[in-house]
Amino acid sequence: MSKVQQIASAYSELQKKICRILEKADGKAVFTEHTWEKEIGAGLTCVIQNGNVIEKGAVNYSFVQGEFTPQMGKLLGEKASHYAVTGISSIIHPVNPHVPIIHMNIRYFELDNRTVWFGGGIDLTPHFVDVAEAKAFHQQLKTMCDKYSGAFYPHFKEWADDYFFIPHRNETRGIGGIFFDRMKPDHTISFEELLHFTLELGNAYPKIYAGIMRKKSKLSFTEAEKKWQQIRR
């Protein structure tokens, strides 16, 4: 089994784990699964809806590969003939407007010229900002990042703030989080450490959200607050 296939297998297993943790936290809804397959690859789309806490959400996995086109080369500044990429992407929309929306993704990209990199991120979009919750969320991310490099959290936080900035509203999308892309192994961090970092982020994601769900899912809310939630979406 090649390196990219091993990572694809690990991400596939992680997708299942994420779904089971979120199902347990919701206590009602379960994920429906749709397997898809195309010429360039395959994946599994998992959707959850109409739960006690989760109104609708998805945890999607894919593994695709194919010809590395000149257009891709121009965009990425690389020369290669073949690419392979695998990853997980997820978003959860809650029923209760006091529970925030959450996004998470991790991915691995490999070229046949031996160039590899990782990317991903996680961010929280509350409808009503809870300062204590925001601080706790960012502290969890900093603690995780600091295991690998003291430079990770400040750099990835700033990256997320820029990436999720909405120019026409002159505001950020939610309270941010971390975002990173094209992270390549070098003398400061190994391939195995970068892989483990993405896996740790993926594992932390449902646990972080399950904690928020337990804390806030039963808070009362008004029609006006529900309307505001729909506007902010």
Using CA atoms, how far apart are residues 63 and 65, in angstroms rounded to an integer? 7
| Cβ atoms within 10 Å of 102's Cβ, excluding its own | 25
Which amino acid is residue 69, in one-letter code?
A: T
Q: Which residues contact residue 142 at a Cβ distance below 8 angstroms, ignoring those fewer than 6 apart?
A: 153
On whether the CB atoms of residues 158 and 142 are closer than 8 A, the answer is no
* 56 touches 128 (CB < 8 A): no
Q: Which residue of the set 34, 103, 127, 155 is catalytic?
A: 103
In the residue annotation, 127 being an active-site residue is answered as no
State both tokens at 82: 């073949």
Residues forming beta bridges with residue 178, ordered by sequence position: 122
Which of 67, 81, 87 minimizes the C-alpha distance to 7? Answer: 87
**In sequence order, what are the beta bridge partners of 177?**
123
- Return the structure tokens found at 54: 């989760």
For the record, the structure tokens of 148 come out as 């690998």
Report, as residue numbers or ranges, the catalytic residues.
103
